[in-house]
């Protein structure tokens, strides 16, 4: 009889401790705010972007950095400045953090409007938000490849002779289109790890403090790989 009672007590205690531990881990474990991670990292291959005139930016430039990538264009009056301001703030927060404990963070703004966004223009534009934001672009063909890799949908459109003309990703802007055209682009901010692999993205709406909190969790998760 006593053995039964002892057995029941042991089972109750074991189940209770297990439940308490599970609940503690569930409640106490920090949750990601807006970062959404891929089930498998996707290695960056064959990236050919241009930083300054003639200066190529490839997959190797992502190595040994945590990278945040945002696609947009400089003639974007509202959303892009707002997002670059937030990304500048994330860079500031990262720089206050002990940089010895993780790979440095780099923010990359990729213009999807190479006809208007020359390297010089990109340099002045990105520096306005933070001196270390890197402005990149490329040919329309290369841009479409990079955007497609991240699943970042975009297109451009102009009004010509009273009708809307859509210029799909990868196609050069026709020469007879004036400067007034718009670019619809992804609202996501993409994350690349120090092994040059795309690992996830931040879904909108974005908040600088929350993005940095999420990044710290992600960085700590990947910490064992830091040499």
Partner 1 sequence: MLDGKLLYKICHGYCLLMAIQKNASIAIKILLLMPFLSFVFSASAAQLIVEDAWVKLAPPGVTSHAAYLRLINNNKQALTITHISAAGYAQVLLHQTKIVKDKVQMDLVETLEIPAGTSVEFSPGATHLMLIKPQQQQQINDQVSVTLMFNDGTRQQFMASVQANNE
Residue number with CB closer to partner 1 (96 or 179): 179
User: Residues 188, 203: contact at Cβ < 8 Å?
Assistant: yes
Residue 227 Cβ vs partner 1, minimum distance, rounded to whole Å: 35
CA distance 126 to 191: 19
According to CB under 8 A, which one of 85, 92, 95, 166 is a site residue for partner 1? Answer: 85
CA 126 to the chain's CA centroid = 16
Residue number with CB closer to partner 1 (103 or 181): 181
Pick out residues in 120-149 that bind partner 1 (CB under 8 A). 121, 124-125, 128-129
- SS3 for 47-103 is CCEECCCCCEECHHHHCCCEEEEEEECCCCCCHHHHHHHHHHHHHHHHHHCCHHHCC
User: Residues 75, 116: contact at Cβ < 8 Å?
Assistant: yes
Residue number with CB closer to partner 1 (24 or 79): 79
According to CB under 8 A, which one of 102, 130, 156, 185 is a site residue for partner 1? Answer: 185
According to CB under 8 A, which one of 42, 48, 145, 182 is a site residue for partner 1? Answer: 182
CA distance 200 to 70: 13
Q: Which residues bind partner 1 (CB under 8 A)?
A: 74-79, 81-82, 85-86, 121, 124-125, 128-129, 153-154, 179-180, 182, 184-188, 203-205
């Amino acid at each position: 009889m006593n053995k039964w009672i002892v057995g029941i007590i042991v089972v109750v205690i074991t189940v209770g401790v297990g439940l308490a531990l599970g609940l503690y881990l569930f409640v106490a474990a920090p949750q990601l705010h807006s970062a959404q991670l891929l089930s498998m990292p996707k290695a960056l291959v064959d990236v050919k972007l241009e930083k300054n005139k003639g200066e190529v930016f490839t997959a190797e430039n992502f190595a040994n950095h945590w990278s945040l990538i945002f696609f947009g264009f400089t003639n974007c009056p509202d959303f892009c400045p707002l997002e670059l301001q937030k990304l500048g703030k994330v860079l500031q927060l990262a720089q206050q953090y002990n940089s010895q404990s993780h790979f440095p963070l780099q923010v990359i703004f990729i213009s999807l409007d190479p006809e208007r966004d020359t390297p010089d223009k990109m340099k002045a534009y990105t520096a306005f938000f933070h001196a270390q934001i890197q402005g990149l672009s490329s040919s329309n063909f290369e841009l479409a490849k990079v955007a497609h890799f991240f699943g970042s949908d975009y297109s451009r459109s102009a009004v010509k002779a009273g009708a809307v003309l859509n210029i799909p990703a990868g196609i050069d802007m026709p020469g007879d289109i004036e400067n007034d055209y718009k670019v619809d682009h992804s609202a996501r901010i993409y994350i690349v790890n120090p092994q040059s692999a795309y690992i996830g993205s931040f879904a909108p709406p974005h908040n600088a403090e929350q993005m940095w909190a999420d990044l710290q969790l992600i960085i700590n998760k990947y910490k064992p790989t830091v040499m």
